[in-house]
Amino acid sequence: MPKHVEQYDDDEMSEILKRAVRLQGSQTTDLRQRLLATADELGISHDAVAQAEVEYRQESQQRNELALYTKESRNALRIHFGVYMIVNAFMIGLNLMTFHEDREIWFPYVLLSWGVGLGIHAFVAMRKIDWDDEEFQKWRRERTSQRQVD
Domain ranges of the chain: 63-149
Provide the greatest CA pair distance for the chain. Answer: 92
Measured distance CA(76)–CA(70) in Å, rounded: 10
Q: Is the model more confident about 36 or about 24?
A: 36
Mean pLDDT of 39-46: 88
* pLDDT the model gives residue 91: 96
pLDDT averaged over every residue in the chain: 88
Roughly what angle, to the nearest 10 degrees, separates helices 46-97 and 107-126? 180
Contact 129, 66 (CB under 8 A): yes
- pLDDT 10s digits, 63-102: 999 999 999 999 999 999 999 999 999 999 999 999 888 8
Contact 128, 63 (CB under 8 A): no
Confidence of residue 1 (pLDDT cuts 50, 70, 90): very low
